[in-house]
A = this chain, B = another copy of it.
Amino acid sequence: MSILQMPWSKAKPLLDTLRSEVKSSGLWSPQLAKEYGGLGLSNGDFGKVSEILGMSPIGHYVFNCQAPDAGNMEILLEFGSEAQKATYLQPLSEGKIRSCFSMTEPENAGSNPVLMNTTAIKEGNEYVINGHKWFTSSADGADFAIVMVITDRTNISPYHRSSQIIVPLNTAGVHIVRNISVMGDAGDGYFSHSEIKYENCRVPVSNLLGNEGDGFTIAQSRLGPGRIHHCMRWIGICERAFDMMCRYAVSRQLSPGKSLAEKQTIQNWIAECRAEINAARLLVLDAAGKMDINGQEKAKVEISIIKFYVANVLQHVLDKAIQTHGALGITDDTLLSWWYRHERGARIYDGPDEVHKSRVAREILKSYTT
């Protein structure tokens, strides 16, 4: 039975063993600053690692660079107080606790930062949080959430209305409604996406990340590295699916002495997928390099481009790998169907293709209108 089909209670001990091995090998937390026990890799270098890890659905988790913990470590490092670092970043970096990021709301389009209903009202030394979130990935069994909330709805700038606040998940009023069933799997533990209601949750004001009104800025800051991370992970999936496709094509006999690999249609797919995967990798590494040198802001066109370009390459490669495998491709006997289901979201989360395309165009057109 694959680890992916086990309940979390059974999967976790197996994964913990692997995590111990990684720690011993000195490759733990490759994306993280050295002071927190990581390798301190640049976006470009971690990107290359992320591709390799992406070839297995458990790769990132085992190396402690999995979403959403990796992003949370990143913003705790950049925006966290010393106390927050001690309480949350340190054990996260050691893999002792898990976390989640609670932003998306079912009633609101995630691509618009103005549309958010969850609020945090300051009362004395506490924030009182109320709201309804979903797709809070890995919340089930996590220790804390970083929650995106409105703290100043009337601020003239929509980009300064929100804040991010750390909420331990054992806080009274945190109600995990369900693990949302996604493409046939509700999952549990790390492999889940929760719907959560926050009902009069009280946390100390010291749980605020950065300053009030920084919510949008902090969210943006995690997007760039997160996209390199995901895009290279997707390329890892593409490479493995591509390898499976080639392997199956040469082994599947259509008639005595004639394999599937001799079919020109299959050859077309192999050539087209190879071209697209190569293009995808070059685009992502180019974006990562520009981000490392010039910062996220100046690389925003490149970052939006890879988001939609690579997500579509991923879907295309998976589709052709499945089609090559025929009936086997739709079974759960290979990983293809798992990716086909669980990566359909790639074209949706962190902004759907359509939003990124409009952003890219508007950014490019700026220089034509002035």
Contact = CB atoms under 8 A, between A and B. Distances in A.
Interface of A: 104, 106, 109-112, 114-115, 134-135, 180-186, 246-247, 249-250, 252-255, 260-261, 263-268, 270-272, 274-275, 278-280, 282-283, 286, 301-302, 304-305, 308-309, 322-323, 326-333, 337-338, 340-341, 344-345, 347-349, 352-354, 356-362, 364-365, 368-369
Given A322-B344, A361-B267, A364-B246, A181 B275 contact: no
Given A267-B358, A327-B135, A250 B368 contact: yes
A258 B345 CA distance: 24
A352 B326 contact: yes
A357 B112 contact: no
16 contacts: A112-B255, A180-B332, A181-B331, A265-B265, A268-B354, A271-B304, A271-B305, A271-B356, A271-B361, A274-B364, A275-B283, A275-B305, A275-B309, A278-B302, A279-B279, A279-B309
A256 to B, nearest CB: 9
Contact of A323 (B332, B348, B361, B362): B348
Contacts of A266: 361
Given A246-B368, A271-B361, A352-B323, A180 B341 contact: no
- Please give me the 10 A-B residue pairs with the lowest Cβ-Cβ distance, nearest first: A184-B184, A267-B361, A271-B357, A282-B282, A279-B279, A181-B332, A271-B360, A264-B264, A270-B361, A250-B368
Contacts of A356: 271
Contact of A250 (B328, B344, B369): B369
Contact of A337 (B104, B184, B278, B361): B184
Contact of A279 (B182, B283, B326, B338): B283
Given A282-B282, A282-B286, A331-B180, A247 B323 contact: no
Give the interface centre of A111, A353, A359 by most chain B CB atoms within 10 Å: A353
A333 to B, nearest CB: 8
Contact of A308 (B253, B275, B301, B361): B275
Nearest to A359: B271
A182 B331 contact: yes
B365 A183 contact: no
Contact of A330 (B282, B348, B354): B348
A328 B356 CA distance: 19
A250 B361 CA distance: 11
A265 B254 CA distance: 18
B110 A327 contact: yes
Contact of A358 (B180, B250, B264, B278): B264
A183 B344 CA distance: 13
A67 to B, nearest CB: 15
A268 B184 contact: no
A308 B271 contact: yes
Given A271-B361, A360-B270, A365-B250, A263 B348 contact: no
A333 B184 CA distance: 10
B184 A341 contact: yes
Contacts of A337: 182-184
Contacts of A369: 250, 261
Given A282-B279, A305-B271, A349-B327, A183 B340 contact: yes
A367 to B, nearest CB: 8
Contact of A340 (B323, B344, B352): B344
A263 B354 contact: yes
